Amino acid sequence: MYRAATAIALGLLMTASPQGMAAQTLSSDKTDFRLEVVAENLEHPWDLTLLPNGDQLVTERAGRLRLIHDGELQSEEIAGLPALVVSGQGGLFDVLLHPDFENNRILFLSYAHRNLEGMTTRVARARLDGNTLKDTEVIFEALPRSGTSRHFGGRMVFDAQGHLYVSVGDRGEKDRAQDLADDAGGVHRITVDGEPVASNPFIDKTGANDTFFTYGNRNIQGMTLHPETGEVWTHEHGPRGGDEINIIRAGNNYGWPKVTYGIGYSGLPISSRTTMEGITDPLHYWDPSIAPSGMTFYTGDLFPEWQGDLFVGALVMRKLVRLEIENEDVVVSEDLLTDQDERIRAVEMGPDGALWLLTDSPRGKVYRMVPAD
């Protein structure tokens, strides 16, 4: 699982990447770096995972799983994907490797699914055999379904104990996020077989779904582990303003829509409160909204200046945000890639020490961030 703000001026110098494509040398306030184009012409890529052999898997929201082998995007798609729907914000979302993938070749996919009862978020487990997924099995389905085509969540991460965390958005129906009998609007913790973890906070609570780990989450689009504490960190979209970074802790209510720093898209208030008793306040928030997507802590050796920093992609604001964290407080925020005009969908920490980025567009790219020298 190699998995607020002061704008800076970015210098631009064209060089050549190992793939033979143009690379850009850029400057931050701590170091210089280059963007290498690893792959392009992907249709709204959504997530990327790095394989033990150095290859990469990329999901396209349009319902394709693609392989990048030896720096080349393969034209043949990975076969055997589960049935899914591409509608509105729905499609194929995350691809996540089993902690023992190198031996069992098992991976997990999150995606939107539709039947006669409506649409929802699902998670399937499958085994990668060559260029085909086999033994595909649905292990999680958020219920009830609804007719909306937004706020699916779909981010996933494993913790150090091998528990799988799955985000489900409020599906655009905000009050569902406060209903523990409704899977929408929270984080679910399950085993690799889809069973609730025995220590889940609501497992013995009458009227609550036993896979819930947290609730009151609007639409989580970034999820990663803290490299020292092992806790799950997330960020979620606010409405007009109020995007949040949260530390996900068992049983906590993160407030949506009872409290928020944002307002409705109509311009009318959603809540008069930004905090209240029994609600977990965000570690950090953005107003106006940046539409965060993808996040990772930097733990590599290529950029010692960035050790421990949190990186967050932004869709609406089209940038990469670097955050320095001390004692669960953001002490420095720096905007990167503001001149690139790219919607950053995913940010991954690579085993090579590079940061890997996906851009969300009909001709999306895979970038690799490396030192300028």
Q: What angle do CA 61, 66, 70 make, to 5 degrees?
A: 145
Q: Which of 93, 176, 172, 205 is nearest to 140 (CA)?
A: 93
Residues 6+ apart with CB under 8 A from 92: 46, 59, 60, 61, 62, 63, 64, 65, 81, 84, 86, 109, 111
Active site residues per annotation: 151
Joined tokens for residue 262: 């944002």
* H-helix segments, the chain: 101-104
Joined tokens for residue 291: 């539409």
Q: What is the mean pLDDT of the chain?
A: 94
Q: With respect to CATH, is domain 6-25+36-281 assigned 3.30.70.890?
A: no
Per-residue pLDDT 10s for the chain (373 aa) are: 444 333 323 333 333 333 434 467 898 999 999 999 999 999 999 999 999 999 999 999 999 999 999 999 999 999 999 999 999 999 999 999 999 999 999 999 999 999 999 999 999 999 999 999 999 999 999 999 999 999 999 999 999 999 999 999 999 999 999 999 999 999 999 999 999 999 999 999 999 999 999 999 999 999 999 999 999 999 999 999 999 999 999 999 999 999 999 999 999 999 999 999 999 999 999 999 999 999 999 999 999 999 999 999 999 999 999 999 999 999 999 999 999 999 999 999 999 999 999 999 999 999 999 999 8
Q: How would you list the strands of the sheet with 64-69, edge to edge? A: 45-50, 56-60, 64-69, 72-73
| Distance between CA atoms of residues 313 and 346, nearest Å | 6
Is the bond preceding 144 in cis, omega lying within 30 degrees of 0?
A: yes
Look up the pTM and report it: 0.94
End-to-end CA distance of the chain, in Å?
27
- Domains of the chain, by residue range, sit at 6-25+36-281
